[in-house]
Amino acid sequence: MLVVGLTGNVAAGKSAVAELWRGAGVPVVSADELARAAVAPGTEALAGIAELFGPGVIREDGMLDRAAVRGIVFRDEEALRALEAIVHPEVRRLRDEWTAEQREAGAEVVVWEIPLLFETGMEGEVDVVVVVDAPAGVRRRRIVETRGLTEAEAEAVMGAQLAAGEKRRRADVVLENAGAREELAARAAEVLGVLEGWEA
């Protein structure tokens, strides 16, 4: 079974590619989905976070108050590390469990969608890395249009990530997404064809 790491900088179109591949029948798991599942009501991770930061980080409906947690860890690196020490092992466990299930079901290609694949040093855990990329100007425009940020705010968001050029250099496959959705769909299908013939 081939394990594909799908990544790319903000507004490059990584999630759109994940959606297209899902639609083509490829099992895809998202790091964001796993992070939400890891801290669902009743989980040990959620209890650990409440113990760490106090009951104020749990909403009335029993869900984690993400905004409250962000407010705590935003300027406190030690608190962020403590949070990651609780959440990351659980995310890894859930991902390994999911991957084993796909293997048992006979999947030939599975995709881990991980925005911070390189930043978290996980490229060595996948068989092939696909980076979705678009020119900086295109990504900036998308951020402004879809998230309602100013150009300066969009620039700050983009600047906080590993440079796109570095991600391209370290990728096995680069999937360009500078144009329309139809063009992306055609390229995504083409890359999927390449992956299906890739030796794990």
Per-residue pLDDT of 66-120, as tens digits, reads 999 999 998 899 999 999 999 999 999 999 999 999 999 999 999 999 999 998 8
What residues contact 14, with CB distance under 8 A and at least 6 apart?
6, 7, 8, 113, 115, 132
Tokens of 126: 């996948």
Question: Could you give the CA distance from residue 117 to residue 32 in angstroms, rounded to a whole number?
Answer: 12
pLDDT of residue 39: 97
| Domains (range + CATH), the chain | 1-27+108-200 (3.40.50.300), 32-106 (3.40.50.300)
> 108: buried, middle or exposed (CB in 10 Å: 19+, 13-18, 0-12)?
middle
pLDDT of residue 59: 96
Q: What global pTM score does this model have?
A: 0.90
pLDDT tens readout for residues 169-195: 999 999 999 988 899 999 999 999 999
pLDDT tens readout for residues 105-159: 999 999 999 999 998 899 999 999 999 999 999 999 999 998 888 888 888 888 8
pLDDT of residue 48: 97
Q: Where are the strands (E) in 11-108, listed by range?
A: 28-30
